[in-house]
Homo-oligomer: A and B are copies of this chain.
Amino acid sequence: MSAIRLLVLGAVRQHGRAHGYQVRNDLEYWGAHEWSNAKPGSIYHALKQMAKQGMLIAHEIAPSTVGGPPRTEYEITEKGTQEYLTLLRESLTSYDQKPDVLSAALGFVVDLGREEALELLEERVRGIEEWRTAVTEHYVPADGPGQLGHIGEIMNFWVHSADSGAEWTRGLIQRIKGGAYTFAGEGEPFVGVLSAGEENPYSTGETHPEDAE
């Protein structure tokens, strides 16, 4: 599973209603073009595809005031919201060595409750540990390590990555347990999108958390 659907659904959801270019800008604002496949083509494709599948509703809009071609605005449906939450939970839980999926999920983790987030992350740690056990048992059989030659370095690398991922996840769990961040149902949420007409992102060096949706 790629991260694009989660990112797009999450972006549309935070806006309530958004057109492709807006989503594209949000993802850039989050840096997603650096750590995921959030290119224009993928974003527009995902929007169309998910509209076809009933997760978004497409509204045709007259050519905008600022010029350019006619836009299509998208609104998330109940089915889309379900899909969003499913993807989010899966992405937090499952260890599939795809850093972009986890990154995307981190951006939305506060849409869940604090307790649920902690449970999912703890399941993630358990998953990594199980995976580690399975791999080391399967690939270092009777005749001991070293028989693999340099091929063993591949496994070594996986295992190192898994350990590092587990360690990081435990750190995050501690921070969340310690009260960090504002989760669902804990008051004014942190807003990470650009509202219509807001200035460019990091070029100003400042975020504007004052305009909730």
Contacts and interface: CB of A to CB of B under 8 A. Distances in A.
Contact of A143 (B100, B155, B206): B206
Interface in A171-189: 172, 175, 180-182
A168 interface: yes
Copies in the complex: 2
Given A106-B151, A110-B150, 15 more contacts: A31-B139, A35-B158, A97-B99, A97-B100, A99-B158, A99-B161, A103-B157, A110-B149, A138-B202, A139-B202, A142-B205, A150-B180, A150-B182, A160-B164, A160-B168
Contacts of A138: 202
Interface of A: 30-31, 35, 97, 99-100, 102-103, 106-107, 109-110, 138-139, 141-143, 147-151, 153-158, 160-161, 164-165, 168, 172, 175, 180-182, 190, 192, 202, 205-207, 209
A48 B18 CA distance: 41
18 contacts: A30-B154, A35-B97, A35-B154, A97-B99, A99-B161, A103-B157, A142-B205, A147-B207, A149-B192, A150-B180, A150-B181, A150-B182, A150-B190, A151-B192, A153-B172, A156-B168, A160-B164, A160-B168
Contact of A154 (B97, B103, B156): B103
Contacts of A180: 150
Contacts of A160: 164, 168
Contact of A164 (B147, B149, B154, B164): B164
B207 A154 contact: no
